[in-house]
A and B are shown apart, each in its own frame.
Chain A
Amino acid sequence: MEEKRFVFSSVISDFIEEIKKEFEESKPEDPMQWFRDALKRHCMVKEEEAEKVAGELLEGIRYYRKIKGLVNPLEEFKDKITEEDIKALKDETELLKARISEEA
């Protein structure tokens, strides 16, 4: 299972490299238009859906930044996130931290 995940991470890492290279080479004047076009090219999003999907994804980016600005996000939303959720998250994050900090 761990091996499979590692392979997937490697492929996603290749996606990031490919798309980043494409962005840099195209030097888009309008990055938001580039984003909508990239959704169609890379993610099989249809022309008529691109605007809506792009809007959702951009809202996600903005919402992450908003939550990041909170002092204690878990405390703010304790009605939605249980102690069990937090424990599962911590266990997973410990494994992850060890993996990331090695060889970095």
Chain B
Amino acid sequence: MEKERELEEIRESDLVNTIAYYKAKKAGLIEDIGLPDIAFGILGAMASDIQENVISYARGEITKNDLEENIDRTVVTGFTAIVVKAYEVVEKPVLSFIKSKLSPVLSNVVDSAAQFVKEKIIKKGAELIEKGWNWLKSKVKKLFA
């Protein structure tokens, strides 16, 4: 029962994105600003929201204005969640450093999430549709089913 509830709260895309960002941290692709591990789960969930929104925008389900509002909301939520959690585990000087460096890190995360959807999902889907395949719809449905 507990496992089922956990899966309801956490989506497949959250797990995939979180592994990807933690791997990026280990590979030195995300600047080491002293973020605790919990922050990479927050980044993974943020990325899921961005991916979902970019797909909705590309499918014409939301307007550009909606997309921008949702990006704002996602970034503010991610920033707040990381700062509040960092307060619990790091010393004050380290926290000031994290806060001063966090915005570009979030930007990098959001950018890569959007790039994944634009390049790997939307563009690939569009190319295949040109060849007569109705691939995009099923891929998008599968991605966020």
Contact = CB atoms under 8 A, between A and B. Distances in A.
Contacts of B112: 8-10, 12-13, 16
A31 B7 contact: yes
Interface residues of B, number: 78
B54 A61 contact: no
B67 A101 contact: yes
B36 A89 contact: no
Contacts of A89: 75-76, 79, 103, 106
Contacts of A39: 19, 22
16 contacts: A10-B112, A13-B113, A19-B20, A20-B13, A34-B15, A39-B19, A58-B6, A60-B39, A61-B41, A64-B46, A68-B77, A85-B99, A89-B76, A96-B71, A96-B75, A101-B67
Given A60-B41, A62-B9, 16 more contacts: A12-B30, A16-B20, A16-B116, A19-B23, A34-B15, A35-B15, A38-B15, A42-B23, A56-B36, A57-B18, A64-B78, A65-B9, A89-B106, A93-B71, A96-B75, A104-B67
Interface residues of A, number: 58
B41 A64 contact: yes
Interface of A: 5-6, 8-13, 15-17, 19-20, 23-24, 30-32, 34-35, 38-39, 42-44, 53, 56-65, 67-68, 73-74, 76-77, 80-81, 85, 88-89, 91-93, 95-97, 99-101, 103-104
B29 A32 contact: no
A5 B108 contact: yes
Contacts of B36: 56
Interface of B: 3, 6-7, 9-10, 12-27, 29-30, 36-47, 49-50, 54, 57-58, 64, 67-68, 71-73, 75-81, 83-85, 87, 99-100, 103-104, 106-116, 118-120, 122, 142-143
Contact of B111 (A9, A32, A35, A56): A9
Contacts of B17: 16
